[in-house]
Amino acid sequence: MNDVSNADLFCLITDSNHAQSAENVLFHFLDDLISLPALAIKNRYRNDALRWSLKPVYLKFLIEKGYDSVIYCDNDIFFFDSPQFLFEKLVEKSFLLTPHFYPSNPSNNQNWLEANFRVGLYNAGFIGVSIKGVEILDWWTNCCLYNVKKSFWRGLFDDQKYLDLVPVKFDNVEVVKHRGCNLAGWNSDESEIVKDENGQFLIQNEPLIFIHFTPLTIEKFSISNAVLFQAYQQYEERLRLKNSDFQFSNTKLTKTAISSYIYYIRWRFVRLLEK
């Protein structure tokens, strides 16, 4: 699924080994999603909320098209190795989740510890689902119809926070603890990252599969002495193959970033009062 700005285009790669080939990419449009939940979501939301809440709808749409399993990835995820083993998991499993793996030390950087409960245990930028997981998709869709917003005091964070309940409510769900999956700026500091003799990155002794290049990831990995600077360069080079003038935009003053800064200042203030 491709997070385009006007939320009218969805992309399905039908062969992960030949993802660069145009004939292996199918495009669906917003008007293709005509189920009652899809219509309700399209009438209620716009922009980011529309894209996020359509994830479970689009995944179910693909399952109903005859695909036994589907993996959703945000458009800022970049693969360095084959995800085939994840599809193999979906032969048996109904649903795959990847943890944020935020730092969780109660004695240091406690803001990250609390982020697990504020933002969610799992990252909604990657979801795997099989035909056995349609019930989960229906439940997640109804959650999105209920509300998609950032409201920390209510325990809401867009479409993502609802995923905390999936392993509790449903059976046959796997939390993918492979640390080479969904590596990002928020979990790299507590990961052992080395390069083997073949030049392959290992994360906690597991091969790097994919990196989630959010603004925080780009900020941390684009520093020339960063362990994963070479991985960042590979990502940037691939983007420039499609557009030679490509440049990352300055995302430090986005609405989300400003909201995070304000939250952190409030959190620091409350912590001072506690002492």
Positions of the chain with pLDDT under 50? 1-7, 18
For residue 54, give both structure tokens: 């359509």
Kindly state whether residue 1 falls inside one of the protein's structural domains.
no
**Number of structural domains the chain divides into:** 1
Kindly state whether residue 235 falls inside one of the protein's structural domains.
yes
Kindly state whether residue 4 falls inside one of the protein's structural domains.
no
According to the model, what pLDDT value does residue 111 have? 92
Task: Provide the Cα torsion 143, 147, 153, 158; round to 10°.
Answer: 80
Domain with 88 in it: 9-274
Kindly state whether residue 35 falls inside one of the protein's structural domains.
yes
Kindly state whether residue 3 falls inside one of the protein's structural domains.
no
CA-CA distance, 188 to 217, in Å (whole number)? Answer: 9
Of 16, 14, 43, the residue nearest 27 (C-alpha): 14
According to the model, what pLDDT value does residue 17 have? 54
Kindly state whether residue 268 falls inside one of the protein's structural domains.
yes
Q: Tell me the pTM.
A: 0.90
According to the model, what pLDDT value does residue 8 have? 64
| For helices 36-44 and 55-64, angle between their N-to-C axes, nearest 10 degrees | 160
Kindly state whether residue 121 falls inside one of the protein's structural domains.
yes
According to the model, what pLDDT value does residue 100 have? 98
Residue 195: CB partners within 8 Å, gap ≥ 6? Answer: 201, 202
